[in-house]
Structure 1
Amino acid sequence: MNDTDTTKVDRAGTAAARSAFEIGHMTFVEITADPVTGTTPSAHQRARETIEQARVADQVGLDLFAVGEHHRTDFVGSAPPVVLAAAAEATERIRLTSSVTVLSSDDPVRVWEQFATLDQLSGGRAEIIAGRGSYTESFPLFGYDLQDYADLFREKLDLLLQIREQNPITWRGRLRPDLDHADVGPRALQDQLPIWVGVGGTLASAINTGRLGLPMALALLLGPITQQEQAVEAYRQAAEQAGHDPATLRTSINLHGYVASSSQAARDIMYPYFAQGMQENNHQRGRGFTMPRAVFDAQTSPAAGLVVGSPQEVIDKLLTYHQIYGLDRALIQIGFGGMPQKDVLTAIELLGTEVAPVVRQEVAARKEVAA
């Protein structure tokens, strides 16, 4: 067996030994004016802060660091693979993923090249969460018609998956030029670079993902904690009907949250920034809104979706998510709305040192009992 083969076997073993429940931090690297001080960070400041967040997340033992994609000047994350490559050099163990890659308005060949390169740079730590994009500014920017919104994603996801499975590749499509024995490189360092599908909650998306047998990354912004139950059920039913074992399919939840030393401190710190972010980051979609404190507090209750509170409160909420959905991981967006870096780093540290170990242990115990 040569050195390359040894590396492949070792990495397959490492993947199999991942924790029973993975917890990560995600960011869209937005530039939002601080509602307390009135100052607006520069793109350079936000970019450097993002790498520091990745470094701390790695040091405190979180499983994942994720960067989302937006194409506006009030976001720095228009090129997640570039940010993640910088994060790879600042970290050692943490897995690096997009959240999400707007595949519909990108080219699957280029997406593969970028993330396979990231995989090589990081020592096999790259992942992709591919999505349609809830923000649509990238479609006209790159010359795509929104009338093809659904077809673009289906066709491009098919190509991305085929690139992962074979090289060279011959492929025929309708919305992208054909490929004839195309050599697409580099190849990933992992045996199989993980490709998740980001689902906002529509049943059709969940069903299609299940039919493909792909892992599903759900999003829950606001609303009851049970909001995505129907989507998960439809996903697993579709997978089983298509011949996939639902027990082997992975699911995650992407949501907003914050952890502090006490419940009150967590809510007091997060609220002004989250409210500011909700107003500034939704106005260009035609539905910006104000969020009264009472509404925010209601969304942090045990029955609602936000993961906010003391370490024990966040532990309890994540275990509730696991109990409801049977999830494998949670990606928590900390700092949305221009929160100061010191507060973001404090929450990341508490999430990694006080929350994650307890959640992993409890979920592992639940699985052992169930087995």
Structure 2
Amino acid sequence: MQTYEFGLDTFGDVTVGPDGATLSHAQVLRNIVEEAVLADRLGLDFFGIGEHHRHEFAVSAPEVVLGTIAGRTERIHLGSAVTVLSSDDPVRVFQRFATLDGLSGGRAEVILGRGSFIESFPLFGYDLAQYQELFEEKLELFSALLEQEPVTWSGALRAPLTEQRVFPPVEHGRLKTWIGVGGSPESVVRAAHYGLPLVLAIIGGSPARFAPLADLYRKALAQFGKPEQPVAIHSPGFIADSDEEALDVLWPHYQVIIDRIGRERGWGAVTREHFEAEASAHGALFAGSSETVAQKIAAALRNVGAVRFDLKYSNGTLPHEAMMGSIERYGSEVVPRVRELLAAAEQTSETDAERLARADRADAAAEG
């Protein structure tokens, strides 16, 4: 029987309060901690926080928030979603998450990526013209650090290391590290090259179209002689008592953030029609009733061959109270239903295999 995990992600979107007024960044940070505490109480497997450096998002230092959460929770794994490695130092990233791992009793994870926003590059003095080279070189160094042996390394964009030990070490085993990708075959193959687990950020279109990327990843792992690794899905969503309620509550907050980003990137204004298409069975927005979302998650996991689903539960200015209700439904209703659906699908598959085996034995007996 396949084991599945279910998590939550947030970018720390700056939200509005019950009166419609925009909350302070500080209040949003405090609310995130409460959201994570609820996720832990519900028995969810992972809580991830994204890194951003712009006014729409409150979290620029995820590890600090995760450290606070570690002191308020007991079992849930805690990580980034994602850490923008290109504009950070691999040694410092490793040290921060190794520290989190120690404080949390081995519950830290890091998801490394290039990020979809570029504000961190000028902020920290990195050249956007080296966008690709920065990530490739820093991922190479980070991969070496994961071995927790003295590191000798040199590259073109950072000072070399010679027999350098990095502290603190991870207490048990090695730091759980994923690579987050948005749909590039080259990024998928790069993750396989380093033998690191893969997170597919499915934020538009049908999740089924990512199945070839997951297949490419698994083939690349085999070609590189790496052991099998898990594949996870990260997608946005919101859960309410009915499909209609979920869409009506989410739409104005979703519209705010998509249009704001769209103006920067030259997109047209998002329409309600597009929004509802993304929330349909063939879109990447997991919004609706508990049953609707559960059916959609189960289908996505089966189509992609993924073993973890992380719901990005924060969406633009969606209020904290609405997110808490969505988290409650996700943990208490959606996840148990998804497990039930997946178990039934596995049982059906096993029954089909047994039926074929019996037919083969009957044919062999007839021929004998």
Secondary structure at 2:209's aligned position in 1?
Answer: coil
The answer on 1:323 being equivalent to 2:318 is no
Deviation of residue 366 (structure 1)?
4.5
The match for 1:280 is: 260
Deviation of residue 332 (structure 1)?
1.0
Report the Cα distance in structure 2 between the residues aligned to 1:221 and 1:96, rounded to whole angstroms: 22
Is the contact between residue 211 and residue 241 of structure 1 (CA under 8 Å) also seen in structure 2?
A: no
How do residues 80-99 of structure 1 correspond to structure 2 at under 5 angstroms?
Answer: 80-99=62-81
How do residues 1-371 of structure 1 correspond to structure 2 at under 5 angstroms?
Answer: 20-32=3-15, 38-245=20-227, 248-283=228-263, 285-287=264-266, 289-364=268-343, 366=345
| Structure 1 unmatched ranges of 5 or more | 1-16
Q: 1:288 to 1:43 in 2, by over 3 A?
A: farther
Q: 1:267 to 1:251 in 2, by over 3 A?
A: same
Is the contact between residue 278 and residue 289 of structure 1 (CA under 8 Å) also seen in structure 2?
A: no
Secondary structure at 1:165's aligned position in 2?
Answer: coil
Deviation of residue 287 (structure 1)?
3.0
Alpha-carbon RMSD: 2.0
Secondary structure at 2:6's aligned position in 1?
Answer: strand
Secondary structure at 2:71's aligned position in 1?
Answer: helix
Report the Cα distance in structure 2 between the residues aligned to 1:66 and 1:259, rounded to whole angstroms: 18
**What residue identity is the alignment partner of 2:242?**
S
Which of 105-114 and 290-299 deviates more?
290-299
Deviation of residue 37 (structure 1)?
5.4
Structure possessing the higher radius of gyration over alpha carbons: 2
Q: Percent identity?
A: 41
Secondary structure at 1:25's aligned position in 2?
Answer: strand
State TM-score, norm by structure 2. 0.90
Which of 263-272 and 223-232 deviates more?
223-232
Report the Cα distance in structure 1 between the residues aligned to 2:25 and 2:51, rounded to whole angstroms: 15
Count residues in correspondence. 350
> Which 4+ stretches in 1 moved above 6 angstroms?
none
Report the Cα distance in structure 1 between the residues aligned to 2:14 and 2:42, rounded to whole angstroms: 26
State TM-score, norm by structure 1. 0.89
Secondary structure at 1:228's aligned position in 2?
Answer: helix
| Structure 2 unmatched ranges of 5 or more | 354-368
Deviation of residue 139 (structure 1)?
1.0
Q: 1:62 to 1:243 in 2, by over 3 A?
A: same
Report the Cα distance in structure 2 between the residues aligned to 1:83 and 1:288, rounded to whole angstroms: 32
Report the Cα distance in structure 1 between the residues aligned to 2:126 and 2:171, rounded to whole angstroms: 32
Deviation of residue 33 (structure 1)?
5.5
